Amino acid sequence: MVGSGPVPVRFFEDERGGNGGGGGAIRLTDDLPRLSASVQGTGLAEEAEARWRLVETAWQLDLPRAGVAVQADAAQDLLFVEQDRRIRRTSLTRVRAALNGYQRGCCFYCQAEVPLTATDVDHFFPWVLKERGEMPDADGVWNLVLACRGCNRGERGKFAAVPSPRLVARLHKRNNYLTDSHHPLRETIMLQTGVDTEARASFLRVRQQIARDHLIHEWEPVGAEADV
């Protein structure tokens, strides 16, 4: 179930009867092994483990839902929370595994299929803005995406350019997905960017203007197609 109804592809059928009894079973469909053999399937187990570790750690630390402020260390591909006044890190999971579900095994920018192990964790609005003191929150989960190495650091990669308005709209859609789907990072995204869709859109507009004011070039991947 996603939202108010079932997804079009089913990975199992519940044949147990009305109240879960009556001699039936949970039957796996042929779509499950097909998924596991696909590009997306290569990171499925790691993604599921990442989501569980986010939830389990919140329970262990006895954190309220609204206080689960997950932070990111993109250089180490690590999500973590800080405990008590000594600012002690508790490692959670890898950034790549936690963010992989929305992108379905594809580069955020060019949409090409790429195995999870071959992706880079990229700062959507370039990290140089944080380095210069213009965007102190650039390491937030809201600003991290998974990119193929060509888009991130290839000959025609993004580097320190400003993502196009179309890509900013895509980031807004991704962040809304993480909140609307009750992903374990939901509360973190809301704390970082706003509690509703309009607040999150306004947040990104401000960041986009900061990037335009301090960086020169706008960027899109070569041969980019319009979003559907």
80 vs 206, which has greater pLDDT? 206
CB 126 within 8 A of CB 161: yes
Amino acid occupying residue 168: V
3 pLDDT band, cuts 50/70/90, is low
* Rounded mean pLDDT, 74-82: 87
- What tens digit of pLDDT does each residue of 142-152 get? 999 999 999 99
